[in-house]
């Protein structure tokens, strides 16, 4: 890939006589030798970065699938099964994160943070969604990080990725989700909760929306408390978060107002038209 | 409740950044002073006392070392890359300045280890506050532009041999950079500018050679025929 690109770039060079002059350069001079070592160092760094980007993508995809699965929780009779299945999926995601952690042994995590951050955020979203369904509360950063401590067992399946990372391998190692990744993941979670709220009404579940409204309100308060202390991305999410909250609050409002006058079996219909309206508004903005 | 703790973490983070910014500002000031000092070489009279200017610049690097020493204490040692962006720019300038001094003194490319030593930091990540390889390379590329300018000005000052030596140096540097597989980032962008520096210096050498001035220079310098 990059080889072809380099070639093209140099063909563009306007000077014809340049090539000949290059031959004066001694390929084994001290300067050329050090550039050869720089080449090795940069290539190693870029390769690691690419491996991490790939792992991060896999983590994102699997986490998204887990979230889709969890959305079925309210609509199927055997919710337990869905939860178990999601646990299996999350375990698979954690195995990927373990590989990330292995790549990062002996490294400064922040050097490669941009490669892995999207995946970790999606994982936070998935794991906190599952946690909410189970316990109706918000998972803490510590709780998430506790699950990301790995031991050396079943090492075989990952040895190939670490072959060139480090010789000495500690028995346990961990990956710490940063506070900012946690916050961004939780902000995304609120979008999922909004969807959960709307769909649960569709299933005739009247209690969940009110619970969700309360929960979202707490999260929103938390984010307002942080305000612009955090980085720019966090304050950017605050806007979307407010929209999600508004949708859930409007849903609860409708339930309250119309709930008393419409027979329960017709409520779902009233609601589905209402949410369509909201979606249209969203499309406009 | 959880958010209170997080807010504390974020505030602490902001405090660290504030502290780092202060030191970086001081570093930028010193870097500007060194640059002003070295700018003198571009003026006619400046060519005579290059060694003196380098000497003075080296004294200023003492201040740089103290300032970098204090920067190290502002954040946890294992979080270099978390705050890297704050000092990246100034560190690249400092690499350039150190490389310029070393070039003026010995007409060689400063090694990464030598720059690290001049700046009082490590060349290797594992040993503490270090010089990132990309920052080193960026600094070297700034040097290339400065040398293109120096080639022009040395002709004006009547020194016809220097451009030829600069040309050899830049050509080797260019070959060196061609060995690297650069990603599409700021270093690549800066590397793309190198060809214009090479071109500029080649033009100077061309102007000298069609007028026979390069031979005069070679004789004057006592070099090869």
Stretch B41-56: mean pLDDT: 84
On whether A276 is known to bind a ligand per the annotation, the reply is: no
Highest-pLDDT range among B9-23, B37-51, B206-220: B9-23
CB pairs under 8 A between A and B: 103
Pick A146 or B219 by higher pLDDT: A146
For A252-283, the pLDDT digits (tens) are: 888 888 765 555 556 556 655 555 555 555 44
Q: Measured between alpha carbons, how far is A42 from B62 in angstroms, rounded to an integer? A: 30
* Region class of A203: left (phi > 0), else alpha (psi between -120 and 50), else beta: alpha
Residue A165 scores a pLDDT above 50? no
Percentage of chain B beyond pLDDT 70 is 94
ipTM of the modeled complex: 0.89
pLDDT of B223 over the 60 cut: no
Work out the pLDDT band at A138, boundaries 50, 70, 90: very high
Mutate to test the interface with B, among A26, A38, A238 (most CBs of B within 10 A): A38
Contact A35 B177 (CB under 8 A): yes
Contact between A32 and B172 using a beta-carbon 8 Å cutoff: yes
pLDDT on residue A70: 92
Q: Do A18 and B198 touch (CB under 8 A)?
A: yes
A229 with B195: Cβ contact below 8 A: no
Residues in chain B with CB shorter than 8 Å from the CB of A113 are 81-82
Nearest-CB residue to B195 (from A13, A22, A29): A13
Q: Is A232 on the interface with B (CB under 8 A)?
A: no
Q: What is the DSSP string of A20-81?
A: HHHTTS-TTSHHHHHHHHHHHHHHHHHHHHHHHHHHHHHHHHHHHHHHHHHHTTTTSS-HHH
Q: What is the pLDDT of residues A169-187, one digit of tens each?
A: 557 888 999 999 999 999 9
pLDDT band at A164 (very low <50, low <70, confident <90, very high): very low
Checking if the pLDDT of A250 tops 80, the result is: yes
A230 contact residues in B (CB cutoff 8 A): 10
CA distance B151 to chain A (A): 18
Shortest CA gap B176–chain A (Å): 5
Whether residue A125 is annotated as binding a ligand: the answer is yes
Given a cut of 50, whether residue A156 has pLDDT beyond it is no
Whether residue B180 is predicted with pLDDT greater than 90 in this model: the reply is: yes
B residues 65-94 closer than 8 Å to A (CB): 78-82, 84
Count how many residues are written for chain B.
225
- Lookup: tokens for B214: 């390069």
Taking only the tens place, the pLDDT of each residue in B109-141 is 999 999 999 999 988 877 789 999 999 999 999
Q: How confident is the model at residue A163 (pLDDT cuts 50, 70, 90)?
A: very low
* Pairwise CB contact (< 8 Å): B3 & A225: yes
Q: Locate tokens 């080889």: which residue?
A: A3
Are B181 and A6 in contact (CB < 8 Å)? Answer: yes
A4 touches chain B (CB under 8 A): no
Give mean pLDDT, residues B85-91.
96
Highest mean pLDDT among B97-106, B118-127, B179-188: B97-106
DSSP state of A150: E
**Is the Cβ pair A31, B173 closer than 8 Å?**
yes
pLDDT digits (tens, 9 = 90+) for A119-133: 999 999 999 999 999
Tell me if A32 and B111 make a contact (CB, 8 A cut-off): no
Asked if B172 lies within 8 A of A29 by C-beta distance, the reply is yes
Q: Which of A140-154, A253-267, B20-34 has the lowest mean pLDDT?
A: A253-267
pLDDT (0 to 100) of residue A172: 84
- Report pLDDT for A3: 44
pLDDT band at A153 (very low <50, low <70, confident <90, very high): low
CA A188 vs CA A193, A195, A245, A272, B155: distances in Å = 9, 11, 12, 23, 62
Chain A residues near residue B2 by CB distance under 8 angstroms: 138, 140-141, 222
Give B148-166 pLDDT, tens digit per residue. Answer: 999 999 998 888 999 999 9
Mutate to test the interface with A, among B1, B4, B6, B193 (most CBs of A within 10 A): B6
Q: What would the pLDDT profile of A43-96 be if each residue is shown by its tens digit?
A: 999 999 999 999 999 999 999 999 999 988 876 777 788 899 999 999 999 999
| Mean pLDDT, range A202-216, rounded to an integer | 84
Q: Which of A6, A13, A25 sits opposite B175 (nearest CB)?
A: A25
The Cα of B183 is separated from the nearest Cα of chain A by a number of Å equal to 8
**Among the listed ranges A152-166, A235-249, A260-274, B149-163, which one has the minimum average pLDDT value?**
A152-166
User: Coil, strand, or helix at residue A152?
Assistant: coil
Whether B175 and chain A come into contact, CB under 8 Å, resolves to yes
Q: Is the CB of B7 inside 8 Å of chain A's CB atoms?
A: yes
Residue A225's pLDDT band, with cuts at 50, 70 and 90, is confident
CB contact under 8 A, B180 and A35: yes
pLDDT at A35 over 90: yes
Q: Residue B132 — φ and ψ, nearest 5°?
A: -65, 140
Nearest CB partner across the interface for B175, out of A17, A22, A106: A22
Average pLDDT over residues A122-149: 93
Average pLDDT for A2-10 = 45
pLDDT at B173 (0 to 100): 95
Residue A13 has pLDDT above 50, yes or no: no
Mean pLDDT taken over chain A: 81
């Amino acid at each position: 890939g990059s080889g072809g690109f380099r070639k093209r770039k140099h063909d563009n060079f306007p000077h014809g006589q340049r090539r000949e002059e290059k031959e004066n350069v001694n390929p084994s001079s001290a300067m050329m030798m050090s550039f050869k070592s720089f080449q090795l160092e940069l290539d190693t760094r870029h390769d690691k970065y690419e491996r991490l980007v790939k792992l991060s993508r896999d983590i994102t995809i699997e986490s998204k699938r887990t979230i889709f699965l969890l959305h079925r929780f309210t609509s199927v009779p055997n919710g337990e099964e869905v939860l178990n299945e999601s646990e299996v999926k999350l375990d698979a995601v954690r195995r990927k994160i373990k590989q990330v952690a292995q790549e990062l042994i002996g490294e400064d995590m922040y050097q490669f943070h941009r490669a892995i951050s999207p995946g970790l955020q999606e994982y936070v979203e998935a794991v906190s969604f599952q946690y909410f369904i189970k316990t109706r509360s918000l998972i803490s950063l510590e709780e998430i990080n506790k699950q990301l401590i790995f031991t050396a067992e079943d090492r075989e399946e990952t040895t190939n990725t670490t072959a060139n990372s480090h010789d000495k391998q500690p028995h346990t190692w961990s990956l710490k989700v940063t506070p900012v990744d946690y916050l961004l993941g939780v902000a995304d979670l609120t979008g999922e909760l909004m969807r959960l709220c709307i769909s649960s009404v569709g299933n005739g579940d009247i209690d969940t929306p009110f619970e969700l409204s309360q929960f979202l309100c707490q999260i929103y308060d938390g984010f307002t408390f942080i305000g612009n202390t955090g980085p720019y991305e966090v304050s950017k999410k605050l806007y979307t978060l407010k929209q999600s909250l508004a949708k859930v609050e409007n849903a609860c409002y409708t339930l309250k107002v119309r709930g008393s006058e419409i027979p329960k079996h017709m409520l779902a219909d009233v609601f589905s038209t209402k949410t369509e309206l909201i979606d249209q508004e969203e499309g406009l903005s | 409740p959880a958010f209170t703790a997080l807010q504390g973490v974020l505030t602490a983070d902001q405090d660290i950044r504030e502290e780092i910014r202060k030191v970086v500002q001081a570093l930028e000031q010193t870097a500007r002073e060194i640059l002003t000092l070295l700018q003198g070489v571009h003026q006619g009279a400046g060519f005579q006392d290059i060694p003196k200017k380098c000497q003075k610049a080296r004294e200023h690097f003492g201040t740089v070392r103290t300032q970098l020493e204090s920067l190290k204490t502002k954040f946890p040692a294992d979080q270099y890359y978390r705050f890297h962006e704050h000092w990246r720019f100034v560190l690249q300038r400092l690499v350039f300045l150190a490389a310029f001094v070393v070039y003026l003194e010995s007409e060689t490319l400063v090694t990464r280890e030598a720059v690290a030593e001049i700046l009082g930091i490590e060349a290797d990540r594992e040993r503490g506050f270090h010089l990132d390889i990309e920052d080193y390379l960026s600094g070297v590329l700034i040097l290339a532009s400065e040398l293109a300018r120096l080639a022009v000005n040395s002709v004006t000052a009547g020194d016809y041999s220097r451009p030829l030596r600069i040309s050899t140096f830049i050509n080797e540097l260019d070959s060196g950079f061609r060995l690297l597989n650069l990603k599409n980032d700021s270093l690549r962008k800066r590397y793309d500018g190198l060809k214009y520096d090479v071109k500029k210096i080649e033009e100077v050498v061309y102007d000298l050679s069609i007028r026979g001035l390069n031979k005069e220079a070679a004789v004057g310098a006592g070099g090869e025929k």
